[in-house]
Amino acid sequence: MTEITRVPIKPIAKGSVAKLWLGIAAALLLAGTLAWAGRARGVEVEVVAEGTGASPTKDDVVFVRYTGTLPDGKVFDKSQDIPLPVQGLLPAGSPLPLANMIPGFTEAALQMKKGGRYSVTIPADKGYGAEGRRDQQGTEVIPPGADLTFDVEMIDFMSRAEFEQRIQVLQQAMQMQQGQGTPAPAPAPE
């Protein structure tokens, strides 16, 4: 028969169990704090003026007026209303298909309502990330790792199918005007 060597284990001293549990609790608290601090920040949407009705879906085209700024306050983009020859065919503002936008802008737009005004902060990882963005000439427009802020007015939205149908009507109207040699009427002021 094999003999096992016995090693005596000292009993735990009085008060050591409480210290052990306090140590475990402190370690868990520290781990939780580090996990919370290291998590990815989300998109922040501040309502400046409440809109009404439903919100768009990720497959919709939104019509917005916006100004995009960098953390130093520099404007990197500003929307412009598109002058259309057929009044009333499309809403005012810039049409933006949400499926083609940066993730943070889409996420924010899904929380907006028609007629509302919003201040949106998009962290870099939901914007242009570590790459930033350059224009067609190669000039840096958005530096790598930059958070973005947008002031947005949600004018209206519609499904992408409805938008494409209205664009076809617009193209047909323009072709008819060109075929007749009649200049397109100027859009009426709002």
Give the pLDDT confidence of 54-65 residue by residue, as tens digits.
Answer: 999 999 999 999
**pLDDT by residue (tens digit) across 2-32?**
666 666 666 666 666 666 666 676 666 666 6
- Whether 118 is covered by a domain: the verdict is yes
CB neighbour burial string for 18-50, b if at least 16 within 10 angstroms, e if fewer: eeeeeeeeeeeeeeeeeeeeeeeeebebeeeee
Per-residue pLDDT for 117 more than 90? yes
Place of tokens 């003026």: 49
Per-residue pLDDT at 51: 95
pLDDT tens by residue, 163-173: 999 889 888 87
Domain membership of residue 8 (yes or no) is no
Does residue 171 belong to any structural domain of this protein?
yes
Tokens of 102: 């940066």
> Of the given ranges (20-24, 34-38, 152-156, 176-180), which has the lowest mean pLDDT?
34-38
- Number of compact structural domains in the chain: 1
CATH number, residue 142: 3.10.50.40
| Full residue range of the structural domain in which residue 148 is found | 44-180
Whether residue 167 lies inside any domain: the answer is yes
Cβ contacts of 52 within 8 Å, gap of 6 or more:
113, 114, 115, 116
Q: Which of the residue ranges 31-40, 124-133, 154-163 would you say has the lowest mean pLDDT?
A: 31-40
In a domain, 22, yes or no: no
Q: Tell me the per-residue pLDDT of 43-102, one tens digit each, with 9 for 90 and over.
A: 999 999 999 999 999 999 999 999 999 999 999 999 998 877 567 788 999 999 999 999
**What's the pLDDT score for residue 25?**
66
Asked whether residue 91 is assigned to any structural domain, the reply reads yes
In a domain, 30, yes or no: no
Confidence of residue 104 (pLDDT cuts 50, 70, 90): very high
Whether 36 is covered by a domain: the verdict is no
Q: Where are the alpha helices (DSSP H) in 39-140?
A: 103-109
pLDDT for 38: 43
